[in-house]
Structure 1
Amino acid sequence: MALLLKRFYEGYFWLMSEVADPRANDYFLMSSPIPTILIIILWFKFILHWGPDYMKNRQPFDLKKIMIIYNVIQVILNVYIVYYVYLARNVINWRCGEIDYSNSYWGRKFLSIAHLYYMLKILDLIDTVFFVLRKKTSHISFLHTYHHFGMVILAWVGTKFVGGGHSYFLGMANAIVHTILYCYYLLTSYDSRYGKLIWLKKFITQAQLLQFAFLILSYGQLLFQNDCKYPKIVSFFFVPQNIFMIILFGDFYVRNYILEPRRKKRQAAAKEMEIRKNYNKSF
């Protein structure tokens, strides 16, 4: 046991000192994974236990103004990332984006954008806190929690080890989708009627599925390039992860936008048939 702990200790410091990008230590919460792990643990404790227990005998909070401000901030920050993605369109090789670990302008800019992306994933956790405080815990599904905490971990690891290069494409795809997503959330927080627009919700889920497919292709093709210096271990992890996300989001899409409308259509048809039968009986 002592030997195992020693190996773990040595492996941890080898990763943090020899493998990690030393520049990442200059950024908030990046010197150690412990603060991020604590944030996730506290988040889980709040959304699963502390929050629901606190709200059990209370009325839902009216968070309309806070949510509008929150969604505006999310839109602005995601648009900022998209803007720099656009500026860097000729800097990154779409076939193989190697990481610039120097202190050059784009080397540092990509790392700072990666860190901003990580901070946004932490900010995303507040979505679930809002669900709890508004007593909408039915929205806190396995898909929701897995996606949120997984993205925080992924963003921290990405910033710490591969803050640049081909990681650009993850930030690009995700920031575009989240700009659309938080514009929708902004509309629904302003007027709940927008939340009933099924076509808009369906479009957002389609955009998310398209994002995962794009990332599978983008990172998958790196596995077949022997001359690309971007770490292939990222693709070995990231491709299966995005396949899993397609399965989860695909299941959500099928259940909510294909099977559910069919079920409602059958119910409406059965109800209409019953009305006709009762009408005919009356004569």
Structure 2
Amino acid sequence: MEIQLQFHPESHVKPLEWEKFNFPKSVKWMEQHWHYSFIFSLMYILIIHAGQMMMKNRRPFKLKSLLFLWNVSLAIFSIAGFLRTFPEIAKLLTEDSGFHKSVCSREQQTIATAFWSLLSAWSKVAELFDTAFVVLRKQPLIFLHWYHHTSVLLFTWFTYTSMDPSNRWFLSMNYFIHGIMYAYYALKATGVKVPRSISVVITSLQILQMIMGVTVNVYSLVVRAVGTPCARKDMDVAVGLLMYFSYMILFGNFFYKAYLKSSSKKRV
């Protein structure tokens, strides 16, 4: 199915010159190569195990300067992505049936949003390198970490070709949280003692992100069930709901173990 994406002159998101790209060509390429995301994910998991074996009898690397530059770069990228994608949602929410349009309609989609959606898909490949710092510094690698990286990579590549309207929400939320999260990691890499409350806030925002992701997908199911038009593919809704629900459970469990359970132990 060929998706027609037209730039709306009245939109708040006027594309910059370097954001104007051949959208149909990018969709065609993704349709033909989206299985690359599975290859990247498999290689990622294999390299994790190989790296952990390599580091088993070695001293951990510090990598403070490199870690700082990496996190600063991703923070700047994520903040820029949020500033370029959120205005589209903001505009729609000021209109009648704004939330419904933001979830189910391609109205007001722009080439700028499409461009940052493509960048998001490729950035998920780059973000796999986050784990290299965990392995090389011999830090604990939890299931949530690598599961989140692989599943988001697969989801962003899978949904890009349909230009899912709900990606407005998924993109903006992800860019927003990552902007804060990577800035936090950059500060920690410098040795700055960041208050524990900041990490609590970040994890709380991540949980709210997952709740919103579940809400958007459940809303899509409900309106389709009552016969209201919603320009989303069944598979996109099903995969999105499964993914965000699993994140909500996993991040909630992480929050409990990291902040609530540990705090109760200290009080004993």
TM-score normalised to structure 2 length: 0.80
Number of the residue aligned with 1:279: none
Mapped contact 1:220–1:239 kept (Cα < 8 A): yes
Structure 2 unaligned segments of length 5 or more: list them.
5-21
Q: Write out per-residue CA displacement over residues 48-76 of structure 1, whole angstroms, 9 at most, x where no aligned residue.
A: 2x212222332222311111111111111
1:110 is aligned, of 110, 113, 127, to 113
Mapped contact 1:79–1:175 kept (Cα < 8 A): yes
Report the secondary structure of 1:94's partner residue. helix
Structure 1 unaligned segments of length 5 or more: list them.
1-17, 267-283
Number of the residue aligned with 1:94: 99
Distance in 1 between the 2:267 and 2:215 partners? Answer: 37
Distance in 2 between the 1:208 and 1:115 partners? Answer: 22
Distance in 2 between the 1:131 and 1:28 partners? Answer: 35
Number of the residue aligned with 1:126: 129
- The farther-off stretch of 119-128 and 201-210 is 119-128
Number of the residue aligned with 1:144: 145
Letter in 2 for 1:206: S
Shift in Å, 1:131: 0.7
2:237 is aligned, of 207, 212, 235, to 235
Q: Which has the larger radius of gyration?
A: 1
Shift in Å, 1:158: 1.7
Number of equivalent positions: 240
Q: Write out per-residue CA displacement over residues 23-63 of structure 1, whole angstroms, 9 at most, x where no aligned residue.
A: 46427973412432222122111112x21222233222231
Report the secondary structure of 2:61's partner residue. coil
Distance in 1 between the 2:265 and 2:34 partners? Answer: 46
Shift in Å, 1:212: 0.9
**Higher RCO (Cα < 8 Å, 6 or more apart):** 2
Q: Identity of aligned pairs, percent?
A: 22
Shift in Å, 1:230: 1.8
1:214 is aligned, of 185, 188, 212, to 212
- Alpha-carbon spacing, 1:187–1:24, altered in 2? closer, same or farther (3 Å): farther
Distance in 1 between the 2:132 and 2:79 partners? Answer: 24
Shift in Å, 1:236: 2.9
Q: Write out per-residue CA displacement over residues 244-278 of structure 1, whole angstroms, 9 at most, x where no aligned residue.
A: 21111111111121111111211xxxxxxxxxxxx
Distance in 1 between the 2:131 and 2:40 partners? Answer: 13
Distance in 1 between the 2:181 and 2:217 partners? Answer: 24
After superposition, residues 157-176 of structure 1 pair within 5 angstroms as: 157-161=158-162, 163-176=163-176
More helix, by proportion: 1
Mapped contact 1:24–1:160 kept (Cα < 8 A): no
Mapped contact 1:78–1:178 kept (Cα < 8 A): yes
Distance in 2 between the 1:108 and 1:46 partners? Answer: 36
- Alpha-carbon spacing, 1:24–1:166, altered in 2? closer, same or farther (3 Å): same
Distance in 2 between the 1:36 and 1:26 partners? Answer: 15
Report the secondary structure of 2:99's partner residue. coil
- The farther-off stretch of 54-63 and 241-250 is 54-63
- Verify: 1:33 aligned to 2:38, yes or no: no
Distance in 2 between the 1:91 and 1:111 partners? Answer: 16
Q: Write out per-residue CA displacement over residues 99-131 of structure 1, whole angstroms, 9 at most, x where no aligned residue.
A: 649xxx944222211111112222221111111
